[in-house]
Amino acid sequence: MSDIISPHGSAALNPLFVADESENARLRAEAEGLRSVVVSSATAANAVMLGGGYFNPLTGYMSKADALGVGESMRTADGLFWPTPILNLVESADGIAPGDRIALRDPNVEGEPVLAVMDVEGVEEFSEAELAALTQQIYRTDDRGHPGVQAFNSQGRVALSGPIQVLNFSYFQTDFPDTFRTAVQIREAIAERGWRKVVAFQTRNPMHRAHEELCRMAMDRLGADGLVIHMLLGKLKPGDIPAPVRDAAIRKMVQLYFPPNSAIITGYGFDMLYAGPREAVLHAIFRQNMGATHLIVGRDHAGVGDYYGPFDAQTVFDEIPADALKIEIFRADHTAYSKKLDKVVMMCEAPDHTKEDFVLLSGTRVREMLSEGIAPPTEFSRPEVAQILMDYYRSQAG
């Protein structure tokens, strides 16, 4: 394990999930007698990420000072480099005080079971002005039409801070048993394979030819031992393809078109922030925590709409301190199939091409074709992948 990249902010990974079965059972029993708070989906997702070691070295939810420091300078109050606030925001503390021990209940699972036990260290309210400033710093916009801004501002203004003990992984482990993995488990899988140089690929969509070739390109150029395809399994915006369909499509692509044992297909339990540059930095931190040495950052990484420039999620890495992260970024341009060269290329590396020399389809056009039962051209999408997506769209229409 010693040769694997060290986690962010500590020598060893500190997952907050209580793995000891008897201790977990004891805490669950204790939680039944504690004051309960049904948390927001975002807070629940933060607990899952803390539980899995992805948010190492955090020990729980941030205080107001931590969150404001992160917004202002990407540093918590004690100087830890961190790009986005990891908060437990509620509408009202309703009598909860520092020193209380409370049970956090899961809004995303039937019956709202206990997700974590929390020792409350702080109960602090953000002013409207503070929350507005934080929104602007993290999302670079205050437009409520931005799905991340809307989600962030709809949770309440009271922050409950303090350490947590995580008792389960919400619906992710049960709904995605073959795909959901903690940072601990991915580190173990990397160690078992003896990989040293590991590329991570973030996706919230099915992977088409351009994504597939981009992964291959990164592995070749970096001389990587392996690839971890790491898909988001949490809440997305309306219209995005659901995780089980993406999962099936990606598995089919890897099975047919990647060498055996060159790629691990995994997923993580988090709600998409759509925070562009700041979220790209968060992605880098938790990929370092899971053992990846490189993260592919493409055009409009973690963005939505026109809120960010196409390469803002890459240039943000030029603006952070050089020693902030150990993981490195593989910067990718838009990739597309070149009719001239008969292969997928990065468009910036084909200066003699015009737009007509590439097979280019907008996401909207691809969705239209799939929903009409028309397979996109093979230069754009593998036929076996297109079939899975067409079946999904057909089931929606029916």
Q: What is the DSSP string of 8-42?
A: TTSSS----B---HHHHHHHHHHHTTSEEEE--HH
Q: In this structure, are residues 62 and 87 in contact, taking their beta carbons and an 8 Å threshold?
A: yes
Residue at 344: amino acid letter: V
> Can 205 be counted among the known catalytic residues?
yes
Q: In this structure, are residues 58 and 7 in contact, taking their beta carbons and an 8 Å threshold?
A: no
Q: In this structure, are residues 218 and 228 in contact, taking their beta carbons and an 8 Å threshold?
A: no
Cα gap 310→333, rounded to integer Å: 9
> Can 261 be counted among the known catalytic residues?
no
Cα gap 388→342, rounded to integer Å: 25
- Set 28, 157, 196, 204: catalytic member: 204
Q: In this structure, are residues 102 and 117 in contact, taking their beta carbons and an 8 Å threshold?
A: yes
Q: In this structure, are residues 85 and 66 in contact, taking their beta carbons and an 8 Å threshold?
A: yes
Cα gap 268→277, rounded to integer Å: 19
Cα gap 309→118, rounded to integer Å: 39
Q: What is the DSSP string of 242-259?
A: PHHHHHHHHHHHHHHHS-
- The position carrying tokens 């997506």 is 389
- Set 14, 205, 251, 367: catalytic member: 205
Residue 86 burial (CB count, 10 A): 23
- Side-chain-facing half-sphere of 295: CA atoms under 13 Å: 27
User: Phi and psi at residue 72, in whole multiples of 5°?
Assistant: -75, -45
Cα gap 393→375, rounded to integer Å: 12
User: Phi and psi at residue 118, in whole multiples of 5°?
Assistant: -125, 135
- Spell out the residues 6+ positions from residue 264 whose beta carbon is closer than 8 angstroms to its own: 186, 189, 190, 226, 227, 228, 229
Active site residues: 204-205
